[in-house]
A and B are shown apart, each in its own frame.
Chain A
Amino acid sequence: MSRELLTGNAAAAWGARLADVDYVPAFPITPQTEIIETLARWYEGGEAPGRLVMLESEHSMVTAAAAAAATGVRVFSATSSQGLLYAMEMIYAVPGWRAPFVLVNVSRALATPITLEPDHSDVLAARDSGFLQIHCATCQEVLDSILIAYRLAEHARVRLPAIVNLDGFYLSFTREPVKIPAAAEARAFLPPFAPGEVEFRASKPVSRAVAALGSSPYSYFRYQTHLAALEALGAYEEVARDFERRFGRWHPAVECYRSEDAEVAFLMIGAFSTKARDAVDRLREKGVAAGLVRPRLLRPFPQAALRSALLGRRAVAVVDQNLSMGSGGVLAGELASALYGCRGAPMIARFVGGLGGRDITAEEFEAMATEARAAAETGEAPAPRLLYTAAELREVRKLQAIALAGPREAGGRS
């Protein structure tokens, strides 16, 4: 099996194709559109047997996806950013239908201001919904994670929809070498969809997703969705091990890169985590015991694996490429909560960067490690840092000068 150069979007399309998806309700949005265009081309050309239908909004698209999954077919869809947010009512509603399907999110930063470049604020807005979440760092992971996501979502003890996230631009439009599994091998790993009790057919009438007025039944159903999501922790191990056995690639719930003996660890998700790996290597060359802890599985939250990786480290630099307004980075808060009260919990230094695709430089990684280590020395948690340089601010001031100048007269004179 040779490797091909594929963009993240193309890898996603291949994941859907190899998963033998039946139905793709679609709606275009930058930077995922290439995924649905690729699938449309394959389906129209007869290269793959699925069916793609354009819906008129992401809210409708997710409704159609879940309704089709609840009827008994394997469903795939894709969105980003504003589209994910537009669908948010249904993103929160459909996990409770317990009809599994896979939604790829090509993460893109959120308005305001409107932009096209990536960060993780969009996908993290779905974190409380009941959708499972898998985060990819490479195009290979994108393809592999879609197959894994179907096995996981359709697992008998889970039965929940799953989001597979890839960064816009840095993965979606970036080509990397990807091994495309043979169709037969993919099918052996992922058997055809078994709807179980969740289907619509004349001989089995059912009233589905009905109201529950009464706090005890309501609470029961909500707890069940949560417990099923937690069950995905064990199911993920099962599925990932099977994937490794068949394809030789190990995709852990939490990747630990040189972190076993690290003094300071970075915590990141997504494509920029490979930059963190790079930074770890350079720090190690300089004699700093650095490491990277990278959750791939974010929902369910891999608390045990994170504790195992981070307890005993002196410091962790959490790099959040997202921002919860008025609070800070989401991962930092979730990590602190996971480590609270545990012996050997590291000092947490919080950083927010990479918003709207902002680069995080090698120098910044080193400086973050330095700050984290210094904080471990003093024992005082530093204030969260929004990564931003003086040069960047000067740049913005120039732009502001233009934007805030008085109105220009016709003819170009100000």
Chain B
Amino acid sequence: MSEALQPRPIRSLKDFPSEHLLAGGTPMCAGCGGLQVLHEVNDVLGANTVFVNAAGCMTLLASYPYTPFRGSWLYTSMASAPAGAQGVRDALDILIARKRLAPEEDLRAVVLTGDGSAYGMGLSATSAAIERGLDFLYLCYDNEGYGNTGQQASGATPHGARTATSTRGHGGAKKDLFAIWAAHRPAYAATVIGSEPLDLAKKVQKAAALKGPRLILALAPCPPGWDFDARDTVEIGRLAVKTGLWPLREYENGRIAHTRVPHPRVPVEEYLARQGRFRHLFEPRRDEEAIAAIQAEVDAYWRAIG
């Protein structure tokens, strides 16, 4: 494998490789926050990976005969990608233990999933994989809805967001997948975002050096789904962090630590106002109550963590 494909440690933004592992030409939308994360993560992990995909937007990354991967990929189903990772991991372990495969042929199993599967249909398989102590990485690109089918509401949709099935604003609340993972006491869990590549790289490197079930949960700003111009993907990602709406945190050894504490926090409405999916909170009239409620929830979160 060429030197360009071997991952080098990333300590500053300058260490990001110029030659990227994930090839271009994929059918993901222009400005896809999820693709941004995947290509950053791929550079950190290197090519000795097998991405085990749960049905979602990224199902179409590999469409015969086109694949962007220089490592491996296995498409499974919407509900059972962690079980696919289990099969691959166990088989590799058996082959290496029985000397039917050289250890340098080993691969890292990485589940690649959207929020639709991660927060919903795939929860059972995910929970069980963690419970079995499966040695795998779980990379979730969370665009807060069933993106591939046109942005219907999912378990990850935040309260008040317009989706294709909640045209007046989602009545439910976003599930806390990070907390669900943490309750399982995995080897590691972290939230990341593509607009904070250094924070992401440090967390992925840390996860890569551990064994066991490890979550990398990435908020993925979605131009068509959230209704904003593709060029704003990074800015919206930065606002998600600066408002405190998307806390950047890690779980390790029973403890949760935040890698960024935005202070002072930007008012949430600056984030909301940039996205068409929240337009009804501002037009035809400002819904002060709704905006204040969202702000209050964010404030409560940061107050609670002290």
Contact = CB atoms under 8 A, between A and B. Distances in A.
Contacts of B230: none
A73 B94 contact: yes
Given A200-B50, A201-B101, A71 B87 contact: yes
Interface string A185-210: 00000000000000011110111111
Given A70-B74, A200-B50, 18 more contacts: A23-B90, A23-B94, A55-B83, A56-B128, A59-B80, A60-B125, A67-B52, A68-B87, A72-B91, A89-B77, A89-B79, A93-B77, A202-B106, A205-B71, A205-B72, A207-B67, A210-B62, A210-B64
Given A64-B83, A64-B86, A208 B105 contact: no
Contacts of B79: 59-60, 89
Interface in B33-81: 47-48, 50, 52, 59-60, 62-64, 67, 69-77, 79-81
Interface stretch (A211-219, A270-278, A292-300, A370-378): A211-219
Interface of B: 1, 47-48, 50, 52, 59-60, 62-64, 67, 69-77, 79-88, 90-92, 94-95, 98, 100-101, 104-107, 124-125, 127-128, 132
B94 A57 contact: no
A238 B59 CA distance: 40
Nearest to B48: A202
A397 to B, nearest CB: 42
Contacts of B90: 23, 25, 51, 53, 64, 68
Contacts of B91: 22-23, 67-69, 71-73, 200
A56 B73 contact: no
29 contacts: A23-B91, A25-B83, A51-B90, A53-B86, A53-B90, A55-B83, A56-B127, A57-B124, A60-B124, A63-B84, A67-B84, A67-B86, A70-B87, A73-B91, A89-B77, A93-B77, A200-B50, A200-B88, A200-B91, A200-B107, A202-B48, A202-B105, A202-B107, A205-B70, A206-B72, A207-B69, A208-B73, A209-B74, A211-B75
Contacts of B87: 23, 25, 63-71, 75
Contacts of A213: 60, 63
Interface of A: 22-23, 25, 51, 53-57, 59-61, 63-73, 75, 89-90, 93, 200-203, 205-213, 217
B74 A67 contact: yes
Contacts, number: 150
Contacts of A51: 90, 94
Given A51-B94, A56-B124, A56-B128, A208 B72 contact: yes
Given A71-B91, A211-B62, A63 B47 contact: no
Chain B: interface secondary structure?
mixed
Contact of B105 (A23, A89, A203, A210): A203
Given A63-B83, A71-B87, A205-B69, A211 B64 contact: yes
A210 B67 contact: yes
A131 B107 CA distance: 28
Contacts of B107: 200-202
Nearest to A214: B64
A67 B72 contact: no
Contacts of A89: 77, 79
B80 A63 contact: yes
A61 B76 CA distance: 12
When A and B form their complex, which 10 residue pairs have the shortest distance between CB atoms, in order from nearest? A67-B87, A60-B83, A71-B91, A56-B128, A64-B87, A68-B87, A207-B67, A68-B91, A63-B80, A210-B62
A208 B64 CA distance: 10
Nearest to B74: A208
Nearest to A65: B87
Nearest to B124: A56
